[in-house]
Structure formats: structure tokens, C-alpha cells
Amino acid sequence: MAVVNTGPAAPVLRVQDVHLSFAGVQAIGGVTFEVGPAELLAIIGPNGAGKTSIFNVLSGVYRPQRGRVTFLGEDLLARRPPEIAALGLARTFQNVELFHNLTVLDNLMLGRHHHFRYGALAAVVWYGRARRAELAARARVEEIIDFLELEPWRRHPVRLLPYGVQKRVELGRALAMEPRLLLLDEPVAGMNLEETEDMARFVLDIRDELGIPMVLVEHDMGLVMDLADRVLVLDFGRPVALGAPAEVQRDPEVIKAYLGGAA
Amino acid sequence: MTDVKSGPAPSAPDIPTGRSRRVRGRPQLYTSYAQDMALLDTPAKRVSTGLLVVLALALSVVLADRSLEVLAGAYVLAIGAIGLNIVTGYAGQVSLGHAFFVAIGAYTAAALSGPPGGDVIGFGVAEIWIWLPAAGLVAAVAGVLVAPLATRLRGLYLAIVTLGLVFLGEHVFKEWKALTGGPGVGREAAVPQLFGYRLDEDGPLGTREQVLYLLMLVLLVVFAVAARNLARSRVGRAFAAIRDRDIAAAVMGVPLTRFKVLAFGISSCYAGCAGALLYSVSGYVEPGSFNLLLSVQFIAMVLIGGVATVSGAIAGALFISLLQPLTRALPSLLPVVSADTTQTPNVFQVETVLYGLLIVLFLVFEPRGLFGLWVRARNYWKSWPFSY
């Protein structure tokens, strides 16, 4: 495994030897990696390799049997999903998991949930704390709407929107959390060429303009090889290779995982 | 339509949210987020809401006392329906136990306001501004105690457990004669008194029914506006997120348990206040009235009116309450239907069947309820004479 210099600063996310299994079926078997500041790490692998399981471990949905995960120096494994979100870890989902009866605006505003400090009593009164906080949040959310070009759909319930736009709204909701690390689970799955190119542009903008480090799970190899700084390859929950895209592509173990063993 | 943002406000230290201005001839031109996020954001909404309030006030002079009493009861039921809509419509936690919380509110208020030293418990505090919040608070505490069930169960299982609550409550209220007077006897309900002035007697403000009507109207407006504010705040968004996708909501930073408990607490508070007020209209509480039928009535109001809308809950409550005088008139029109509960078929059975039938019809043909019908009508006239 080649070691790539991720810069002088300390890594944002450090995953050490994580093991996760469901009643004897091993989903993740000893995965270790780090994500540096402003780095874009891609995780690839055949179906069932454990890519989404890693995301679920990071966001607190699954609890691994062994291993350590630290995010900005904080231990993630002892925390529940809302606490992890409050630390600044945001994610999107493989199958769009938006709040489909809410409008685009409300979905993005919900992303800012943990930035609000007012309680139910202030909410009922509205005038005062709640209104001030909501107005400030709205201004922030409008910046994201502008950034992701979602203006035409502000007031639409997301269930009525085309799939490609829903994917973008989900990215917007994650950005509204003002994350310190962004996990993207197959952001271009099922998209056509134009939608894929749009999404690639947004991902690059997020890294270059907002400087948010990202972990990307994706099956579109062209996208992964073009965007990623480093690539982690998994097969049946075990790490096969970790390195720059060009090196990983030549790795015989990776070719074996994708095309099957040489007879 | 026109969503024009003004230039950066120089005084604001943070991101500018715009300065509110009214441009003559451009009523829908918003120059600030405050205008865009207002509850009554269009002139049409402002005018129609104003007209509705004026109409409701005018009714107190125009209508006969008997009709005013029915309407006052309808407004109180609307408060209860808004409460059920908060937990079931917004937060998506199906509750059949609403009648239980209504009962807790009714008895808290009745016990506080009842005369001390009588046959039943009474503390002689008849001031409405004491017993109404107290009823809401006690019911809210009961709701918070029940809520942990909702964090373990969902959907039908939660519905069954809350259903059990109604039967438990019904039994307790029938047996606890010191509080409720027992079945068939009942007790005097809470007396609405404001700074020593009895609101349930004819006085300088008008007849008993007129005063009660106006009191309930004011309270309904207060509770409805509060619910709308809650719905558009972070709390309402968190409720809707839990309803639509609970796991995604947790990953986005919404603590599920805390907000489910909050939803039950607020909903029960509304139910408690509704219970306290409901029986001060009739002046009498009977422990047998807090049964499953009352819960089903509230469910019917929410489903017929419109799930997750405050105006829908009010419309549903008015619809169901105004249906009752019609069904109660049935025995005189249809001799087959009896007014006696021991006979079959009687009015109450017809009512139960009717609620069920209406729920089914609305769920099949217009799941958004009366509110949905209104939206359809509005959209039709928006583009008239074109179809879209």
C-alpha cells in the first residue's frame, strides 16, 4: 500500500481497524484510513464490499464490534447519530432520504437543526429569539440554494422533484449543517451524463471554495478517478488498496477484486 | 413569484436578511426574508383572515344562543383537534389516547375550581387563568410520562398501546368517585371566572352563551396561532422530519426521543386545555364521556379536516360538531333511528358509523381532507379559465 502525503495538518477523520459483523456475516473486517483536511477520499469496491456500512458506522447508525474512530480528536463510537451530526459530520444517502413532504427550503433549514438554540416556548411565541434565529438561518440557507442552483424549486415539496434535483437537495441539506466533514454515498448513482457533470462540478466547488473534506462512495469510476485525491478499495469488507487513483488502477489485487481471480 | 432580494444592509453584522419595504402596486414583491416568511404573506391571506375574524365576531350577535353554544363547543374541540394534529399529523405518532388527556384536563380544572368541602374534591380556585394552564400542565406531564412508549413502538403498535390508555382511564374515572362523582352522577365542571367576574352567567357583556362563545373564539385564535408558530419553527420541522424519515432525521442531528416526548407533551397540553374548557360550556362532566368514541371523533376531525394543517384541524372540528345537531335530529325524520341508547339502531350508532364512513371516503378520495379540497378549489381558480 502506497502512502500518500496528506499535508502537514492532522487528519480530520481517523478510522483504525474497524470490524463490523451482523450475526456472523462480516461486513467490515479491519478497515483503517485517514482523511486529511480538504482531502477528497473515494471508497470503491464491488457491491457488498462494505462501503455504505462504513458510512453507517461513521454516522452512528451501526456500532462496530472492534476498532476506533476519531473525528477532530473526538471518539465517535460512543456517540449517537444526533451528537455526531452536531460535531460536524454530515452525509448524504445512497437512496434519497429526504423529508419528502417538506419543501426544499424546509429540508435545508432542517439541516441547520443543531445550530438553533431556541426551545419550544420561544417557538410558540415566535417574535423575538425564534424569529431572529430563523431569519439568520434563512439567509445562510439561501446561500446554499444559490450555490447549488436550487432557486426554481424553493417552495416545492421534494417528493415532486426530479431525481437528479432530489440528489442535489440532499447535498444541500448536508451542506446546510455547515459540516467539517462530508460523506457522499453514491451522489451520481442513476444520473444521466449532464446531471453527473453538474454534480461533479458541485463536489469540486465544495472542496475548492468551501474547503470541506469529503469521503465519496461511488461506482462511477470515471468520476472517482477524476475527482479523488486518494482511493480506498474494499472487497468483502477488507481493504485491498489505498493510494492515488492512478496507482490503485494498476494494482493487481484491485483488478482481481473487480474482474475475479485469474484462473 | 417575485423573489427579489435587496442589496446588502450596511448595518447588519451577519449576512443581510433584507429590509422590509412595501412597493406600491407590487404587493407580492418581497424585499426581506421576514416578509417572505410571514404567516400571512399575501394580501389575499391578510384580507380573508381579517374577514373570517370579523365574521366570527359578528356571529356572536347574529346567531341564537343555542347555536352559539354549539359553536363554542366546536371551537374548544378545534383546540383539541389541533393538539392531536401536532402529535399525529406533524410528528406522525398515531395516538388513539387523546380522550384520556382530555379527561385529565377536564378533571384537573373541575377539581381546582370546584367548591371545597363538597361531595367531590374541590379547591375553590375558579379563576380561569389559574385552572386553564394548570389543566394543560397536568395533561402535558401525563403525556410526557406516556411518551417513552412512542420511542419504543411505532405505527399500529403505538396506536394499540394508546388505545389501552383510553380503557384504563375510563375505568379509573368511573371508579374514582371522590374526583369524578362516579358514572351517572358526574360532577360540576370548571367555572370560568375572570378576576371575580363569572363568564358563564348573563352579564353586561351579553348573554351567557355570547360571552362563552367570545371566550372560546379568542382562546382558539391564541392556540391556533401558537400551533402555527410551532409548526414553522425548528420544532415543527423536527417533528415533520421524524414523521417522514426518522433515521435520516437522527443523522441530520434531531434527537428522536426528545422530540417525540415533546410532541406528546405539547399535544396533551392542548388536549388538557380543551378538556378543561369543553365541559365549562355544558357545566357538567360525566366520567363515561371519555371513551374511545371521543378519541375517534378527534381522529375523524384531523383526517377529515386535513393532516398536518392547523386550519384543517379547525375545519374538521367545525364539520364534525355541526354534523352532530343534524344527526341528533334524525329520530324525528327517520322513525327507524331511535334516540334511546338501549334501542338499535340508535343515533349514537349512526354517528359512529358515519364517522367511520367519512374517514374512509376522505382517505380514498381526498387524503388531504377539507384542506385539500380548499387547495384544489384555489388552484382551479388561480389558473381559470385554463386547466393549467
A130 part of contact set with chain B, CB < 8 Å: yes
B304 part of contact set with chain A, CB < 8 Å: no
Q: How far is CA B325 from the centre of its chain?
A: 20
User: For A160-174, b where at least 16 C-beta lie within 10 A, e where not — what string?
Assistant: ebeebbbbbbbbbbb
Note the residue count of chain A. 263
Percent helix, strand and coil across chain B, each to the nearest 5: 65, 5, 30
What range does the domain containing B110 cover? 39-376
Question: Is B144 a domain residue?
Answer: yes
Nearest by Cα to A118 from A143, A91, A136: A136
Average of per-residue pLDDT across B78-86 = 96
Closest approach of chain A CAs to the CA of B317, in angstroms? 22
Q: Which helix (H) or strand (E) holds A248?
A: helix A245-250
Start and end residues for every CATH 3.40.50.300 domain found in chain A: 1-88+179-263
The confidence band for B14, taking pLDDT boundaries of 50, 70 and 90, is low
Q: Say yes or no for a CB contact (<8 Å) between A136 and B266.
A: no
- Helices vs strands, H then E, count in chain B: 17, 4
pLDDT at B122: 85
Is the CB of residue A256 less than 8 Å from the CB of residue A236? no
Average of per-residue pLDDT across A46-61 = 93
Question: Is B6 a domain residue?
Answer: no
Torsion, Cα of B70, B71, B77, B83 (10° steps): 180
Q: What is the 3-state secondary structure (H, E, C) of A134-153?
A: HHHHHHHHHHHHHHCCCHHH
The confidence band for A262, taking pLDDT boundaries of 50, 70 and 90, is low
Q: What is the overall mean pLDDT for chain A?
A: 91
Cα–Cα distances (Å) from B44 to A106, B48, B49, B50, B382, in that order, read 23, 6, 8, 10, 12
pLDDT at A2: 44
Better pLDDT: B65 or A202: A202
Question: Is B325 a domain residue?
Answer: yes
Q: What is the overall mean pLDDT for chain B?
A: 88
Q: Say yes or no for a CB contact (<8 Å) between A82 and B254.
A: yes
Which residue of chain A is at minimal alpha-carbon distance from B39? Answer: A126
- % residues pLDDT > 90 (chain B): 54
pLDDT tens profile A90-125 = 999 999 999 999 999 999 999 999 999 999 999 999
Q: Say yes or no for a CB contact (<8 Å) between B15 and A106.
A: no
**Range with the poorest average pLDDT among B192-196, B226-230, B231-235:** B192-196
Question: Is B163 a domain residue?
Answer: yes
Closest approach of chain A CAs to the CA of B230, in angstroms? 5
Which residue of chain A is at minimal alpha-carbon distance from B257? Answer: A82
Q: Is the ipTM of this complex over 0.85?
A: yes
Domain count, chain B: 1
Q: Say yes or no for a CB contact (<8 Å) between A134 and B266.
A: no
CA dist., res. B176 & res. B188, Å (int): 15
Using the predicted structure, report yes or no on whether residue B233 has a pLDDT greater than 80. Answer: yes
A139 part of contact set with chain B, CB < 8 Å: yes
CATH 3.40.50.300 fits A1-88+179-263, yes or no: yes
Is the CB of residue B190 less than 8 Å from the CB of residue B109? yes
The confidence band for B355, taking pLDDT boundaries of 50, 70 and 90, is confident
pLDDT at B386: 83
| Nearest CB to B230; choose among A99, A120, A154 | A120
Question: Is B19 a domain residue?
Answer: no
B19 part of contact set with chain A, CB < 8 Å: no
CATH number of the domain that B157 lies in? 1.10.3470
pLDDT tens profile B246-271 = 999 999 999 999 999 999 999 999 99
pLDDT at A263: 45
Question: Is B93 a domain residue?
Answer: yes
DSSP letter for A218, please: -
The confidence band for B325, taking pLDDT boundaries of 50, 70 and 90, is confident
Which residue of chain A is at minimal alpha-carbon distance from B245? Answer: A99
Torsion sign over Cα B190, B193, B195, B198: negative
